[in-house]
Amino acid sequence: METLEQIKSRITHALPGARIEIIPNDSPAGQRSLLVDADHGAAIAQFLRDDPELRLDYCSNATGVDWPEAVVKTKIKKQVIVEGVEKEIEETLETLRSGCLETVYHLYSMAKKHGPVILRLRTENRSDKNHLPSLTPVWRSCEFQEREIFDLYGIVFDGHSDLRRILMWEGFVDHPMRKDYVGPDDYDYEPTPHDDVLEKTKQHQAAEVKA
């Protein structure tokens, strides 16, 4: 199979204006991925499926990721002159990363027997600009998984034919897989409050008093 650099080059040639970034991976697996802009997400997905060299005709897995706003620390090395002697020092730069929601698709070719190619799409933010194009029209296997992401993370998939909750009930408030989700102090199915439930209730009450 082609490298991600080659795939990126051919996508940008076929779809001028598409924004694509290769995301590194520091884990032992080292599987890098393609982050693409939402405006071209559906067209890029169709290209990956229909291109005769790639034929990525199967999405094995789609999942969500919550990226809250955070301060990211990056270490850099620089050369400085200290008492007339050049030395290398290490500095830590802090940058503010804006929050967003992300979908990650793992793509394979059953026809060519290769893969995966990992595709990422990100929303503009975690609140009112939380829409992404549905890739279910390209890969039918995404249907239930995009519903799960919608249910648990709150990403709205434009173009999905049946976008409704799949794990939580209709009327459930919030999205349980978000990192700032706060669960209820007690649950209907618990006949009596357990010690950990009581402790959680005390913490929430203390936080409300401080607010």
Q: What mean pLDDT comes out for the span 108-133?
A: 96
Q: How confident is the model at residue 34 (pLDDT cuts 50, 70, 90)?
A: very high
**pLDDT tens-digit readout, 137-173:** 999 999 999 999 999 999 999 999 999 999 999 888 8
Q: Decide if pLDDT at 109 tops 60.
A: yes
Q: How confident is the model at residue 211 (pLDDT cuts 50, 70, 90)?
A: low
- How is residue 74 written in tokens? 């990056």
In whole angstroms, give the CA distance from residue 145 to residue 63: 7
- Confidence at residue 200, expressed as pLDDT on a 0 to 100 scale: 72
Amino acid type, 176: P
Q: How confident is the model at residue 201 (pLDDT cuts 50, 70, 90)?
A: confident
- Confidence at residue 192, expressed as pLDDT on a 0 to 100 scale: 58
Which residue has better confidence, 174 or 86? Answer: 174
Q: How confident is the model at residue 29 (pLDDT cuts 50, 70, 90)?
A: confident
Residue 195, strand partner residues: none
Percent of the chain whose pLDDT exceeds 70: 92
List phi, psi (to 5°) of 6. Answer: -65, -40
Q: What mean pLDDT comes out for the span 172-192?
A: 77
CATH superfamily for 4-66+101-173 is NADH:ubiquinone oxidoreductase Nqo5 subunit (3.30.460.80)
pTM here is: 0.83
- Confidence at residue 190, expressed as pLDDT on a 0 to 100 scale: 54
What spatial distance separates the first Cα and last Cα of the chain, rounded to whole Å? 55
Q: Decide if pLDDT at 185 tops 70.
A: no
Q: Which of 73-87, 123-137, 192-206 has the highest mean pLDDT?
A: 123-137
- Confidence at residue 121, expressed as pLDDT on a 0 to 100 scale: 98
